[in-house]
Structure 1
Amino acid sequence: RNLKTRNSVRDARLFVAEGVTVVERVLRSSLQVHSVLVSDRKFATCEPFLPPGVCVLRMRSELADELVGFSFHCGVMACAVRPENPDFEKWIPAKGRSLIVAADRVVDPENAGALIRIAAAFGADGLIFGKGSADPFSRRVLRVSMGNVLFLPIVETHDLPASLAELHRDRSFEICGTVLEGNTISLDTYRFSERTVLVFGNEYDGVSDEVQRILSQRLTIPMLNGTDSLNVAVSAGIFCHQYRVQMKEFHDAGHH
Structure 2
Amino acid sequence: MRTALHGISSFHSSLVTDIRLAAAAGFTDLEIFYPKLVRYLACGGTIETLRQRIADAGLRVSHVSALDHIERHSHEDFEYLLREARKITREAEMLGAQTVMVLPRNGIDHLSRTQIMDIMTRNIGAIAAIGRDHGIRYMIELPAFTQFHTLAQVQEIYDRVGATNIGVVVDFWHFHASGATPEDVAAMDRERIFGVHFCDGRRPKDSEGWDETVLRACMPGEGEIDLAAWSDAVRRSGYQGPWSVELISPWLWEADPECLLPKLQGILAQYAAPV
Q: Same fold (TM over 0.5)?
A: no
Q: Report the TM-score range of the alignment, normalised by the length of the smaller protein.
A: under 0.3
Larger % of helix: which?
2
